[in-house]
Structure 1
Amino acid sequence: MKKIYTIGLSMAVAASVLAGCGAQKDDQGSAAAGGSKDKVKLSVWHNWTGQDAKAIAMRKILDDFQTQHPEVQLEVEGLPTDGLKTRLRTVAAADEMPDLFVMWPDAMTKEFVSGGLLQPVDEFLNSKPEWKNNFIPNALDGFTVDGKTYTVPMNLAPTSFIYYNRAIFDQYGVKVPKTWDDLKSAIDTFNKNNIIPVALGNKANWVAQSTIFSTIADRVTGTDWFLKAASQNGAKFTDPEFVKSLTVMQDLGKSKAFQDGFNSIDENQMMQLYFQGKAAMFIGGGWTVANLVNNAPKEVLDKTHISILPAVDGGKGNAQTTSGVVGTGMGVSKKVTGARKDAAMQLLYALSGPEGQKATLESSTLVSYKIDLDKSKAHPLFVELNELMKNTKISPVYDSKLTSAAVEVVNNGLQELLMGGNPEAIAKKIQDAQAGALGK
């Protein structure tokens, strides 16, 4: 999906000369001398391609920005999440980054900074302290490298919740799982009644890793162990606790928690199984509420509620957690300078400043920003999610902490694991990939 905003041809040379002579700019990028405006072009890549409330809200911000800034030509391209991540890493290798792009905190940010591809936003951020100081504690950490901040989160992205249809649970006398045995019992009951226990669409192989395995693994190993293994300092992915987490994940597959062919359908097809009442549950991130609110049939939406994966017996992790990150942010290419940089910072502010955060919250999407939810206007399911998060901590999602090489091995390894692969062999592949990428 590609959308290019165009402007009429004009003589931009004079404006460029003014800029070169040091004309002062206001917040809109206007030159102080005579109020003329530079004509600039910016390429923008995002993953707001769906018809969920969040995607629609963010595309509207882009449209509104273009209307309010006719001096800027936005060339906007939308890609699905997995496609965007792949393409960003491809163009990063060739040093051909777009001007602004949705990026992920921690591992991706560090890799792009290491490659000299990003520019920090501290100067602009510090010029708006009322904005900078209103993020939740530690919200900027994942985008901060060596004391420099490279963007801010546009949302809050817990990645693992059980979404369940209360009517189906009640029909078969199943209780919401509070223990791992409860979950196994629910899976068994639904299978006996020809109901898919947990719909899964893992064609884009990050889904199982991000929405299910990252939380299961944390339940088993605990967060401290994972951070040591990720840094290859005091733990390895061949350790018994990690192999156990792979075994727990594999056991879900063996118990037929997921429908046949889950590696060959995508998230949209997964959601359709749930929308059609063929599945009692699916596991997805906080972003899923925006999809449910916009697209689920009313009879399904009204019966949908949210829980988290239960504790794993003998596990070392905190059971009141969900894997996740503080959210995605808009990276700014290091090559963007002058009037183009001014315009880029204004677009960054439109998307992730107070109004952007408000629009995101109102699209049934969590934010990493201190802003109150108007419960009288919010959908009840989003209110439920918002209340759940007040007592739920975020543990690291695997693809935010591991190197890109190891993430690919994890994602492919989980597909293999759920088709009967050997946990020890898969663990060794992950260990080798992470150690190799870090040179350890």
Structure 2
Amino acid sequence: MKKRMTQKWIAMICGAAMLALLLAGCGGGSETAGGSGGGTGGEKVSISIWHNWTGQDAKAVAMRKIIEDFRVQNPDIEVVDEGLPTDGLKTRLRTVAAADEMPDLFVMWPDAMTKEFVKGDLLQPIDDELNANPEWKNGFIPNALDGYTVDGKIYSVPMNLAPSSFIFYNDALFKKYNVKVPETWEELEAAVQTFNDNGVIPIALGNKANWVAQSTFFSTVADRITGTDWFLKAVEQDGAKFTDPEFIEALKTFQKLGEINAFQEGFNSLDETQMMQLYFQGNAAMVVNGGWALANLVNNAPPEVLDNTHITIVPAIADGKGDPATTSGVVGTGLGVSKKLDGGKKEAAMKLFYALAGPDGQKATLDSSTLVSYNIELDKSKAHPLFVELYDLVQGIKIVPVYDSKLGSATVEVVNNGLQELLMGGKPEDIGRKIQDTQAAVVAN
């Protein structure tokens, strides 16, 4: 009897142990799919992110800090990040897009790039996350989400505001040589002449990564001459062509800057960092760059240059069809989310997405002397005076499309290469024809 009872208890204990193991297995699976933290329930999940926050400017430093803080706060999520220069990132993304091997998260651009990636079935929308956080969704400035919206679905949010064309100028050099800050194109050409006569580089340019001249300067010059409506029609190949007289005139106007030596020698061999160094060293009176350059200026320019730096827009061009109170630009880069993400990996990735692009990330961006497309009031008493100057300037101007945000990627490459050729003496009509033929093929496909 005693022996039978002992065997019975052993059987019951063994059965209970097996049941506990089964329950633990089931519970573990459930926690991995949607538990706390990164949604991995103790099982570490790995996510990848590609970005262009590689420099020592305040914006890049702030974004890298958010990623580092995220790692500390989420030990069950491994974040594998890779930083690339902007031109390298764009090239790499299009390479992996062709192979359908996108990283989990990646910095991407609105309008043309977003549309191309959606067409390639590479992205997933973030409407569910935005609708679950209505304060976040409703916090963006009007039309900020348009560039990331395709067929009614939202695929990202802007992480900054990126007007791409300002003239940063060293007022000490302007005063030393009695040069007026240009408000007209003729005054800009006169300033170039005076600085050249005195051995000062008029405008620093680093166009080795060939997007610089197009994005920071030509897009605005062209809009001054052709007007925005003409450009948007040419993009769609609907009643306007890049062989039209107004566009050829824009090319000729920009080419003249090369002819009068507005830039230093070897400008197609220097990169954007070297361009800014010429300005930091006091060797150049002006540098034309996007609003993003201010974070670099504030962090890295020597006091004698920073304290004398002011900001204006590209001057008006006589008889142009465009509004002179504008600058080219976009609402800012966002984060793309790979179509392949699901389950715990998607939950972890969206948690990092929110840390970088949610309200706290937007504030960190603004605090880094970088403009945002989000409704946050700037505390001018705490901001750098030069950033306050930029912030106030932007309130009074309108942003028009930068060329590389609207044109197809193949056309953008032709434009960028064409501008390098143009500044070295290429024929404007031939360059216009190449751009027209490429964009017509893009639209036809």
Please give the TM-score of this superposition, normalised by the length of structure 2.
0.93
Matched, 1:131 2:136: yes
Q: Are the equivalent residues in 2 in contact too, given 1:19–1:339 (CA < 8 A)?
A: no
CA deviations 1:277-301 (Å, max 9, x no partner) are: 1100000000000000000001100
Q: Are the equivalent residues in 2 in contact too, given 1:160–1:286 (CA < 8 A)?
A: yes
* Separation of aligned partners in 2, 1:13 and 1:110: 43
* Separation of aligned partners in 1, 2:312 and 2:137: 32
CA deviations 1:323-349 (Å, max 9, x no partner) are: 000000010000010011111111111
Please give the residue correspondences for 1:314-353 in structure 2 after superposition, counting only pairs within 5 Å.
Answer: 314-353=319-358
Matched, 1:435 2:435: no
Task: Give ranges in structure 1 of 5+ residues lacking alignment.
Answer: 1-11
Matched, 1:188 2:193: yes
* Separation of aligned partners in 2, 1:145 and 1:195: 48
* Separation of aligned partners in 2, 1:410 and 1:400: 12
Partner of 1:18: 30
* Separation of aligned partners in 2, 1:399 and 1:189: 33
Task: Give ranges in structure 2 of 5+ residues lacking alignment.
Answer: 1-23
* Separation of aligned partners in 2, 1:19 and 1:137: 40
Q: Are the equivalent residues in 2 in contact too, given 1:131–1:354 (CA < 8 A)?
A: yes
Please give the residue correspondences for 1:208-357 in structure 2 after superposition, counting only pairs within 5 Å.
Answer: 208-357=213-362
Q: CA RMSD in A?
A: 1.4
Matched, 1:142 2:154: no
* Separation of aligned partners in 1, 2:48 and 2:235: 34
Please give the residue correspondences for 1:19-98 in structure 2 after superposition, counting only pairs within 5 Å.
Answer: 25=35, 28-30=37-39, 36-98=41-103
* Separation of aligned partners in 2, 1:128 and 1:16: 29
* Separation of aligned partners in 2, 1:71 and 1:152: 26
Please give the residue correspondences for 1:355-374 in structure 2 after superposition, counting only pairs within 5 Å.
Answer: 355-374=360-379
* Separation of aligned partners in 2, 1:19 and 1:98: 25
Structure 2 counterpart of 1:18, one-letter code: S
Structure 2 counterpart of 1:106, one-letter code: D
Structure 1 counterpart of 2:240, one-letter code: A
Partner of 1:121: 126
Between Structure 1 and Structure 2, which shows a larger proportion of helix residues?
2
Please give the residue correspondences for 1:193-212 in structure 2 after superposition, counting only pairs within 5 Å.
Answer: 193-212=198-217
* Separation of aligned partners in 2, 1:73 and 1:206: 34
Q: Are the equivalent residues in 1 in contact too, given 2:222–2:251 (CA < 8 A)?
A: yes
The structural deviation recorded for 1:38 is 4.5
Give the secondary-structure state (helix, strand or coil) at the position aligned to 2:282: coil
Structure 2 counterpart of 1:362, one-letter code: D
- Counterpart of 1:155 (choices 149, 152, 160) is 160
CA deviations 1:252-277 (Å, max 9, x no partner) are: 11111101100001111111111111
Give the secondary-structure state (helix, strand or coil) at the position aligned to 2:80: strand
Would you identify which runs of 4 or more consecutive aligned residues in structure 1 move more than 2 Å? 12-16, 23-26, 28-31, 36-39
Give the secondary-structure state (helix, strand or coil) at the position aligned to 1:263: coil
Please give the residue correspondences for 1:394-409 in structure 2 after superposition, counting only pairs within 5 Å.
Answer: 394-409=399-414
Structure 2 counterpart of 1:274, one-letter code: Y
Q: Are the equivalent residues in 2 in contact too, given 1:53–1:364 (CA < 8 A)?
A: yes
* Separation of aligned partners in 1, 2:202 and 2:25: 63
Q: Are the equivalent residues in 2 in contact too, given 1:156–1:368 (CA < 8 A)?
A: yes
* Separation of aligned partners in 2, 1:14 and 1:207: 55
* Separation of aligned partners in 2, 1:399 and 1:370: 26
Please give the TM-score of this superposition, normalised by the length of structure 1.
0.94
Structure 2 counterpart of 1:366, one-letter code: L
Partner of 1:167: 172
Q: Are the equivalent residues in 2 in contact too, given 1:202–1:264 (CA < 8 A)?
A: yes
Structure 1 counterpart of 2:269, one-letter code: S
Max Rg structure: 2
* Separation of aligned partners in 2, 1:113 and 1:16: 35
CA deviations 1:25-75 (Å, max 9, x no partner) are: 56x4447xxxx3442110110000000000000000000011111111111
The size of the alignment, in residue pairs, is 422
Q: Identify if the C-alpha distance between structure 1 residues 172 and 89 changes in structure 2 by more than 3 Å, giving closer, same or farther.
A: same
Give the secondary-structure state (helix, strand or coil) at the position aligned to 2:268: helix
Matched, 1:111 2:111: no
Q: Are the equivalent residues in 1 in contact too, given 2:123–2:337 (CA < 8 A)?
A: yes
The structural deviation recorded for 1:14 is 6.9
* Separation of aligned partners in 2, 1:417 and 1:29: 51
* Separation of aligned partners in 2, 1:196 and 1:58: 34
Give the secondary-structure state (helix, strand or coil) at the position aligned to 1:264: coil
* Separation of aligned partners in 2, 1:215 and 1:360: 25
CA deviations 1:312-367 (Å, max 9, x no partner) are: 11100000100000000010000010011111111111001010000000000000
* Separation of aligned partners in 2, 1:395 and 1:255: 27
Please give the residue correspondences for 1:372-391 in structure 2 after superposition, counting only pairs within 5 Å.
Answer: 372-391=377-396
Structure 1 counterpart of 2:298, one-letter code: V
Structure 2 counterpart of 1:370, one-letter code: N
